[in-house]
């Protein structure tokens, strides 16, 4: 994308990756993404905030040239991950006098990941300020959004918060500023679920840390900028809260239809009880949508058949993912069918040790489900209903 003015002498100089469909070889990107870098021209010094993914090096270099940057005094590195730091080497080549301004932890990551020499760095502490003349940058450490070294940079005079991954969205759009609505909220929630959710408790502290800033614009390093900061801050406050919704998520896989029959029957039971259900057929599902559903559901019920004396690998992957993403889910159970024996319940349970959730008695069926099995599923649905009632989340 071309250079775009945000405020007087503050510019977007990043790149849009319209057709990227996978991040970290793991996360689906149905709407592409962007790597936002920002140029700030103070009356005395010029600073670049973050760079872009190495695949977009040419665009950043072209944008800096088009913005008339002959001398770059500072490169602020908010986060060492390569989608923001990957072009630092090239910038150092083009502007050898530039100092990389970052925290101690980020410096060591950049030295290890990009082999940048020690003398290129200026290390700042939490709360430090850096003058560019008529503009001042303030650095605020916000660990674990997304790595331990992450920080945000606040441009005091223009009231812009450069938040890097924090508040971002994987959303490629030619609009510099967000159209705050359902679509963006969905992309931001997907992003939160995949990247931020494991660090929910730390994010609570980070939100408190920026609460007193007077913010006109939040400028993340993925997706559009927010002119209504409350839109994304309030969404985060809801996602990180302990509140859950009257929802049951059912990640399931079935080989010959027995487990699927259980799932179909179970969905109807839950719907009859006034509970919202989100089933995910694991071999076909978009893992990002599954992650997004995990953000606020009260209950997860994993459904799997037995394969080679254990759970189906698709169910193992789902359990592993749930455990890694650490949602605030309150209740968890397992249902499934088996042919002759095995230990798939114990196996799946052992994969969910990070969850602070109550385990509800599972329902297993030998072969195709029969009358008494349906009765067991009814009991499970009743138990979930009563648990949701205890939480007072049933409308």
Q: Which residues of the chain form contacts with ligand FEO (CB under 6 A)?
A: 79, 81, 83-84, 146, 165, 221-222
Q: How far is the CB of 291 from ligand FEO (least distance, A)?
A: 16
Which of 191, 266 has the CB closer to ligand FEO? 191
- Give the pair of three-digit tokens for residue 286: 């978009």
Distance of CA 228 to the CA centre of its chain: 20
Q: How far is the CB of 52 from ligand FEO (least distance, A)?
A: 10
Q: How far is the CB of 259 from ligand FEO (least distance, A)?
A: 36
Which of 194, 373 has the CB closer to ligand FEO? 194
Exposure of 82 by Cβ count < 10 A (0-12 exposed, 13-18 middle, 19+ buried)?
middle
Half-sphere exposure of 173 (CA within 13 A, CB side): 16
Q: How far is the CB of 33 from ligand FEO (least distance, A)?
A: 8
Cβ-contact 311, 344 below 8 angstroms: yes
Which residue is closest to ligand FEO by CB?
81
Which of 113, 204 has the CB closer to ligand FEO? 113
Find the helix packing angle between 229-240 and 182-191, rounded to 10°.
50
Which of 79, 328 has the CB closer to ligand FEO? 79
Q: How far is the CB of 222 from ligand FEO (least distance, A)?
A: 6
Cβ-contact 380, 262 below 8 angstroms: no
Specify the long-range contacts of residues 131-134, CB closer than 8 Å, at least 24 apart: 131/42, 131/44, 131/45, 132/40, 132/41, 132/42, 132/43, 132/44, 132/45, 132/46, 132/47, 132/73, 132/74, 133/42, 133/43, 133/44, 133/45, 134/42, 134/43, 134/44
Which of 145, 302 has the CB closer to ligand FEO? 145
Q: How far is the CB of 81 from ligand FEO (least distance, A)?
A: 4
Exposure of 71 by Cβ count < 10 A (0-12 exposed, 13-18 middle, 19+ buried)?
exposed
Q: Locate tokens 């993403």: which residue?
A: 325
d(CA 367, CA 256): 10
Q: How far is the CB of 296 from ligand FEO (least distance, A)?
A: 23
Which of 60, 332 has the CB closer to ligand FEO? 60
Which of 89, 148 has the CB closer to ligand FEO? 148
């Amino acid at each position: 994308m071309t250079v775009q003015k945000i405020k007087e002498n503050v510019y977007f100089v990043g790149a849009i990756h319209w057709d990227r469909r996978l991040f970290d070889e793991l996360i689906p990107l149905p709407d592409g993404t962007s790597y936002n870098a920002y140029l700030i021209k103070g009356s005395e010094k010029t600073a670049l905030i973050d760079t872009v993914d190495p695949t977009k090096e040419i665009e950043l270099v072209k944008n800096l040239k088009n913005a008339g940057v002959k001398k770059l005094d500072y490169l602020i590195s908010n986060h060492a991950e390569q989608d923001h730091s990957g072009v630092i080497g090239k910038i150092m080549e083009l502007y050898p006098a530039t100092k990389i301004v970052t925290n101690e932890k980020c410096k060591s990551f950049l030295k290890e990941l990009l082999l940048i020499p020690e003398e290129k760095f200026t290390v700042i502490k939490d709360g430090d300020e850096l003058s560019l003349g008529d503009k001042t940058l303030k650095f605020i450490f916000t660990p674990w959004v997304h790595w331990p070294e992450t920080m945000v940079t606040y441009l005091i005079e223009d009231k812009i918060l450069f938040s890097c991954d924090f508040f971002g969205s994987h959303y490629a759009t030619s609009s510099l500023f967000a159209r705050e609505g359902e679509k963006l909220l969905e992309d931001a929630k997907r992003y939160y679920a995949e990247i931020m959710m494991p660090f929910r408790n730390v994010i609570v502290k980070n939100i408190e840390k920026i609460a007193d800033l007077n913010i006109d614009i939040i400028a993340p390093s993925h997706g559009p900028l927010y002119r209504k900061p409350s839109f994304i801050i309030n969404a985060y406050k809801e996602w990180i809260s302990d509140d859950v919704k009257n929802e049951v998520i059912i990640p399931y896989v079935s080989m010959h239809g027995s487990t699927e029959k259980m799932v179909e029957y179970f969905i109807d039971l839950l719907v009859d009880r006034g509970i919202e259900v989100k089933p995910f057929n694991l071999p076909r599902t978009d893992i990002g949508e599954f992650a997004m559903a995990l953000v606020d559901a009260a209950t997860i019920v994993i459904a799997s058949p037995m394969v080679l004396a254990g759970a189906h690998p698709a169910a193992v992957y789902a359990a592993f993912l749930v455990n890694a993403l650490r949602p605030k889910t309150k209740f968890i159970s397992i249902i499934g069918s088996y042919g002759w024996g095995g230990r798939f319940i114990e196996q799946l349970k052992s994969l969910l040790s990070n969850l602070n959730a109550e385990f509800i008695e599972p329902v297993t069926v030998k072969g195709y489900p029969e009358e008494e099995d349906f009765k067991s599923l009814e009991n499970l649905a009743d138990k979930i209903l009563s648990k949701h009632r205890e939480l007072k989340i049933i409308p």
